[in-house]
Structure 1
Amino acid sequence: MAEAPKNPYKIQPEKAFWRASVGTRHYADMENLWEPMALKRADRVATAGSCFAQHIGNNLARRGAAFMDMEPAPPVFANETEARRWGYGVFSCRYGNIYTSRQLVQLFDEAHGQRIPGERVWEKDGRFFDALRPGLDPVGQESPEDVLQMRNRHLEAVRRMFAELDVFVFTMGLTEGWESVSDGTMFPVAPGTIAGTYRPEDYRLHNLRHHEVSRDMLEFWDRLRSVNPAARMLLTVSPVPLAATATQNHVLVATIQSKSILRSVAGELSEDYDGIHYFPSFEVISSHPARGMFFEPDLRNVNMFGVDLVMKHFFSGPLAEEFGGEVEKPLQEPELICDEARLDAS
């Protein structure tokens, strides 16, 4: 009979110990940060979330994954860069940034006819914008009817995406959001930032708590599996700090609170549900062993060295075998589309 270990840590692998796996290693040589999920080239992958989700989608597509583009750009744009500024090719559908769990579950319900937001159109200088994705249209439409017609087509694409995907990659970005007082509809940006008019009596800040984010994500998961029983979900947390906060906290404190909640929820969901996975892009970029080296001088935006390291860890183990190792990078990375950045445009 084998002798029992003196304590339960004696049987843990090397990655469980700080000194061996972090403290005495060069950061570039760290390994085994995650157990790669099963993913094949033929798996249909859809992406959504904050700005950082775009890196994962871009790299999956570059390595030959079946990246879903449900709303491809029409042939009126001069190039890909111009099309991206109108929201084409950024995510799997043209929904812009989905920063919060509340936006995600509300989008699903709207796409499936379960809710109609009370406020869907914002106005600015005589032009009209989709209030649920105002940053996608640089010039606006001539009438509210035009906006709603385009939104209906968009929702049809979203509905098909959820029904047809194999893997849904969602990058959780924020807990803060602005919602309608009348029906709780949460917008991607505060009214008045891009379009619309801010009225304190009609809109309020809602900083989602842990239990709210957890409930939203579980409700979304149940809804997704109801229309697509085999669907899987990969969660990440954006390492990009808040551009601004509307709470009473310093933006640094607000950032840590927000990211801590999102990271906690993502971890719990991946531990409790077999079909939900977590990839630690947040830890790779933001943990203190990185010494802040993967941020641009503004200490907010992630530089390409950081993005490359994140992708190195993502495409490891069986994913390296399936998708290959390093791939040739384009001369210029696609511009990230980030509505939140407009809060600190000055």
Structure 2
Amino acid sequence: MSDHPYRSLPDGAYWRRAVAGRGPAIDPLGGGFLTLGREEKVATAGSCFAQHIARYLKRSGFAFLVTETAHPIVPADAAERHGYGLFSARYGNIYTARQLLQLFDRAYGAFAPAEDVWDAAEGGGRVVDPFRPTIEPRGYASEAELRADRAHHLAKVREMFEALDIFVFTLGLTEGWESTDDGAVFPVCPGVSGGRFDPARHRFRNFRVAEVTADMAAFVARLRGVNPGARIILTVSPVPLVATASGNHVLAATTYSKSVLRAAAQEIAEDHDGVFYFPSYEMITGAPAAARYFAEDLRNVTEEGVAHVMSVFLRHAAGIDLPAPAAAPASETPDATLAAAREWVQVMCDEALLDPEGE
């Protein structure tokens, strides 16, 4: 039999050897991933799923970088409701690459969106920040209060970008809404959580691969401009879209969105030194998991799924093996055991406001 390149590939290159019959606890990460030291400062941003990464980093004793903190007298649960500690700074969900790029530019004074204050949904003269509309649950009492808090926030964002060693960004969506005035991209559609939708001022965008890749390449260049040694880990959120404005079925729209993000992440990782792709998306949504890692709504990721993802991450990045989840007591009924396996951890997700339960 003649020789050919496929005769000498590692087992991970073959579906039969690496995937078939392996079950959900699969490790699809190849070689060449970064090494994470316990003293290295790790910052996180992105969609809802990124909050799980932050939670596990803190739990495992790593230096999770938080530059924007609540006052020490504020109880932890109240601080979390106001967006403290969910990410490295209080920016809330950053779903698109364009949002991330614009956050950097706003933090360094290179972009000042024209539409920078929204009336709060509850009225009463209160206002919200269009670029983090749920960060203050009741909004701000005045524009002056909002602007002062925003200035403090952006200063802490600058501090984060300049201090971090590793930046973990979870790409979440390709769909978004932008201002027709200057292209400012909002985390949610105007009118959903403050503001008023105006078809003359707001337009729908569904970013393509080339656009996402260009935005991420520009972000990498800007970050390296203020922090030359920064390393970046890109992931794609496995959480499906809550709703789509594309005109397509939400399942097809989700497949498009995640495909674009996955392709863009691969291109950026291949084209830039010090940028790595971590396959959390594949571990949760891939055929071996067979939807095991989704809650009954087929959208939220269970704690079992998050634990699998983070065990693979920490094994490769830090040489740490997380303990296996505790076995269910023998007295538990099968239904109770299944329910325990399907538990999922609530995270702050602005996108969920597009289809609130009970409506």
Residues 319-334 of structure 1: matches in 2 within 5 Å?
319-321=318-320, 325-326=322-323
Give, in whole Å, the separation in 2 of the partners of 1:273 and 1:175: 22
The letter of the residue matching 1:326 is P
Q: 1:123 pairs with 119, 125, 131, which one? A: 119
For 1:101, the equivalent position in structure 2 comes to 97
Partner SS state of residue 135, structure 1: coil
292-301 or 269-278: which moved more?
Answer: 269-278
**Are 1:316 and 2:315 matched, yes or no?**
yes
For 2:107, the equivalent position in structure 1 comes to 111
Q: 1:15 pairs with 6, 12, 15, which one? A: 12
Residues 1-44 of structure 1, C-alpha deviations (whole Å, 9 max, x = no match):
xxx9711011100111111111132332x335243311111111
For 1:271, the equivalent position in structure 2 comes to 270
Residues 22-33 of structure 1: matches in 2 within 5 Å?
22-28=19-25, 30-33=26-29
For 2:201, the equivalent position in structure 1 comes to 202
Partner SS state of residue 65, structure 1: coil
**Are 1:87 and 2:98 matched, yes or no?**
no
Partner SS state of residue 236, structure 1: strand
Change (3 A) 1:156 1:318: closer
Is residue 295–residue 344 contact of structure 2 (8 Å, CA) maintained in 1? Answer: no
Change (3 A) 1:298 1:71: same
Give, in whole Å, the separation in 1 of the partners of 2:24 and 2:303: 16
- Cα deviation for residue 89 of structure 1 reads 0.6
For 1:62, the equivalent position in structure 2 comes to 59
The letter of the residue matching 1:83 is A
Is residue 269–residue 276 contact of structure 1 (8 Å, CA) maintained in 2? Answer: yes
- Cα deviation for residue 77 of structure 1 reads 3.1
**Are 1:345 and 2:341 matched, yes or no?**
no
For 1:294, the equivalent position in structure 2 comes to 293
Give, in whole Å, the separation in 1 of the partners of 2:59 and 2:158: 25
| Ranges in structure 2 where 5+ consecutive residues have no aligned partner | 327-342
Give, in whole Å, the separation in 1 of the partners of 2:225 and 2:155: 17
Give, in whole Å, the separation in 1 of the partners of 2:177 and 2:67: 28
TM-score of the two chains, using structure 2 as the length reference:
0.90
Is residue 28–residue 283 contact of structure 2 (8 Å, CA) maintained in 1? Answer: no
Give, in whole Å, the separation in 1 of the partners of 2:51 and 2:324: 17
Aligned positions, number: 338
- Cα deviation for residue 344 of structure 1 reads 1.0
Residues 155-304 of structure 1: matches in 2 within 5 Å?
155-304=154-303
Taking only aligned residues, the RMSD between alpha carbons, in angstroms, comes to 1.9
Is residue 169–residue 235 contact of structure 1 (8 Å, CA) maintained in 2? Answer: yes
Partner SS state of residue 312, structure 1: helix
Partner SS state of residue 232, structure 2: strand
The letter of the residue matching 2:206 is N
- Cα deviation for residue 335 of structure 1 reads 3.6
Change (3 A) 1:86 1:333: farther
Partner SS state of residue 318, structure 2: helix
| Ranges in structure 1 where 5+ consecutive residues have no aligned partner | none
Change (3 A) 1:74 1:24: same
Report % sequence identity.
Answer: 49
Give, in whole Å, the separation in 1 of the partners of 2:253 and 2:102: 24
Is residue 34–residue 280 contact of structure 1 (8 Å, CA) maintained in 2? Answer: no
The letter of the residue matching 1:255 is T
- Cα deviation for residue 325 of structure 1 reads 2.9
Partner SS state of residue 198, structure 2: coil
The letter of the residue matching 2:88 is S
For 2:45, the equivalent position in structure 1 comes to 48
- Cα deviation for residue 333 of structure 1 reads 8.2
Residues 83-135 of structure 1, C-alpha deviations (whole Å, 9 max, x = no match):
21110010000000000000000010110111111111110202111111001
Partner SS state of residue 168, structure 1: strand
Is residue 283–residue 289 contact of structure 2 (8 Å, CA) maintained in 1? Answer: yes
Is residue 42–residue 165 contact of structure 2 (8 Å, CA) maintained in 1? Answer: yes
Partner SS state of residue 179, structure 1: strand
For 1:153, the equivalent position in structure 2 comes to 152
Change (3 A) 1:162 1:103: same
Residues 221-272 of structure 1, C-alpha deviations (whole Å, 9 max, x = no match):
0000011110010000000000001111011111000000000010111122
For 2:330, the equivalent position in structure 1 comes to none
